[in-house]
Chains A and B, each alone.
Chain A
């Protein structure tokens, strides 16, 4: 990374942990074989894959057989939602999700709407939460799938997965969770949580890009989206990317060791950031300020335009909205869903902190933010003369 950049966009992606990079390098040179090959070299690579699965299984407290390898959370979400909806089409065509979901979920549901499914888009409260009783009220006899994200990528809301899952279990509805921002960052015990399908990706927790996983609980079946081989019980055929999978496994191992320390580190940094920004006139926090994920703080400020703020903040690397959506000139639909106006949503900046963020980075961020707001406000027309 260029030395003058201050990276506070860990919700977009994280750097490889050195142990992950080393493990991948090792596998690339020593175990690059096809794990489906029925010879000694193939079995060597298969052992690498199984070891990685064991590490991920420990992180999530699940059995190895429940995990499928994918290319990342987008594919996992597609597999889970499309696969489950198609599998249970005979049961009903009503699906439920939230207005604050990631595009990798929203667009899948929109596709299903075009296929004849009916989708209820639930609005969250102002903190981004979906109260389980609100979900229960939306359930119908023909509801067959509910999908919510564990940690919101823009505002850091930690959803009540246990409460929502309990409602789903009570009514016999399949429950999918997009865990892209949660896996490897907060404790996720899928043996205890009433979750049927759980999507994750490695690059959000210091693993490589291009690999993820989908947890499919025992007794849950989904229709495959891809065809072409017997790998992964024909659910997701294709030669496994052994080095990427090994990297995911190593990242899961590192995450288990570091999670408690990471959360403490992030909480301290987030509080430092809030303290440094809270005296700015017109500043407000988007989403939860107290019980949200400590690695994400989304703030808005009156009388400042978001895109100009982002440029004025350079060399700070932050996001104005979902990273995947930043090319769009539209304001964040997530912020609109929690009740922010278009103008308010346009000034939003998401700070996402990570393992390598330092208190000095936060001090610099506070200083740059204050200067940028002051500068842009000085440019603003006061009123019509």
Chain B
């Protein structure tokens, strides 16, 4: 085991998650792979993700990554999800290389959320 497997950002996101829960009536996305389970829900007003919540089952890096994603994207335009990439999360949380696959589960969930929001917006336009 390395001297400290979790950096301060992981410890903060894990110990003090501000975005645990569900947005009732919000747009949701769920992914289950490699023993990890992640669900995001988003409250959408116009194109803004005014509220982002998550639930996760997995290691501390996965939970921290889900929380960090919510912190970074809550309040932003849904279009900004296009800018999401795992590299910055891996860097910010110092995710060990052997856990890359787990962070890719997060990426899949975000991609799924983006698609769900797009569907939601199309339906609203119709």
Contact = CB atoms under 8 A, between A and B. Distances in A.
Interface stretch (A162-170, A196-204, A373-381): A373-381
Contacts of A311: 6, 11, 14, 60
Q: How extensive is the interface on chain B, given as a class?
A: 20 to 34
A305 B58 contact: yes
A343 interface: yes
A346 interface: yes
Interface string B30-60: 1010010111000000000000000111111
A192 interface: no
A305 B39 contact: no
A382 B28 contact: no
A207 B71 CA distance: 49
B60 A307 contact: yes
B20 interface: yes
Contact of B39 (A312, A327, A346, A381): A381
Interface in B55-69: 55-60, 63
Contacts, number: 49
Interface of A: 303, 305, 307-308, 311-312, 326-327, 329, 342-343, 346, 378-382, 384-385
Contacts of A380: 37, 55-57
B31 to A, nearest CB: 10
Nearest to A307: B59
Contacts of A379: 17, 20, 55-57, 63
B59 A308 contact: yes
Contact of A346 (B17, B30, B35): B35
B84 to A, nearest CB: 20
Majority SS of interface residues in chain B?
mixed
B58 A378 contact: no
Contact of B37 (A308, A326, A342, A381): A381
A385 B35 contact: no
Given A343-B35, A385-B28, A385-B39, A305 B59 contact: yes
A202 B38 CA distance: 45
28 contacts: A303-B57, A305-B35, A307-B60, A308-B14, A308-B58, A308-B59, A308-B63, A311-B6, A311-B11, A311-B14, A311-B60, A326-B1, A327-B1, A329-B98, A346-B35, A379-B17, A379-B20, A379-B55, A379-B56, A379-B57, A380-B37, A380-B55, A380-B56, A381-B39, A381-B55, A381-B57, A385-B28, A385-B39
B99 interface: yes
B35 to A, nearest CB: 7
